[in-house]
Structure 1
Amino acid sequence: MAKYMLLIYGDDKQWEAMTPEEWAAHGRAHAGFNETGGARVLGGEQLAAAPDATTLRAGSDGGVVLTDGPFLETKEVLGGFYLIEAADLDEAVKLAAQLPEVKAAHSGVEIRPVVEHE
């Protein structure tokens, strides 16, 4: 089985504007994803809002520079992730297609294979 990272992107403002009822429906959709995925879902979490991120990069003096917020200024930010196992990309796509972010106009899911080192 191969491992795939499902990266959930969306608009922070859209997520912040969700009502408690919308969040409850969203949570039920994710619970359904986890139920369907079963043991293939190895882990996953919702992430704090992008302004809460800290980015590290090399400074001009060779040291490390910390910056508040995400590395890039974009409308879509990384909002969460799942690590799954699947037989192949087709199976990963089929499972990821169940996530509510795939159907929302402001978000999407990136599927990226995990590189296995021996």
Structure 2
Amino acid sequence: MLIIHMNPDTWAGMDEETQHKVMNGHDAFQEKIRATGEMVGTWALADPDKSSVVRTRTVTDGPYLEAKEFLAGYYVIETESRDRALEIAAMMPEVEFGGQGIEVREILHYAGPTA
């Protein structure tokens, strides 16, 4: 899994042209990894202010952590090796345009939809 962390101050500090380059960069990135057959899927997440946290008998509005960065989205990829996953992560637009970095984490268990 390629986890995209975002700092809203970093994003707000980018000019509009750079923001468009990042977003368009995802289109090109997706084309590359679809062509190799390594892309499983991608999900973009809403801003933390639209989230909620459920705890034992308590529901609170987001964000759920006291942090500058938040989880902005992620890609699920299938590769032959960790090195290849790191190589793919390095192609993501956030790496080029000063994002918070891409966390690469192995998925240990998947329980998909049932038929």
For the aligned pair, the TM-score class normalised by the smaller chain equals: 0.7 to 0.9
CA displacement 1:86-111 (0-9 Å, x = unmatched): 11110100011111212343411111
Opposite residue 2 of structure 2, the aligned amino acid is L
Using structure 2 for the length normalisation, give the TM-score: 0.82
CA displacement 1:32-86 (0-9 Å, x = unmatched): 211111131111122111111111122xxxx3x1111122110111111111111
1: CA distance, partners of 2:73 / 2:26: 11
Aligned residue for 1:22? 18
Aligned residue for 2:72? 79
Using structure 1 for the length normalisation, give the TM-score: 0.80
Q: Against the structure 1 CA distance between its residues 24 and 66, is the aligned structure 2 distance closer, same or farther, given a 3 Å change threshold?
A: same
Superposition pairs for residues 1-118 of structure 1, below 5 Å? 5-38=1-34, 39-58=37-56, 63=57, 65-116=58-109
Unpaired segments ≥5 residues, structure 1: none
User: Identity over aligned residues, as a percent?
Assistant: 33
More strand by share: 1
Unpaired segments ≥5 residues, structure 2: none
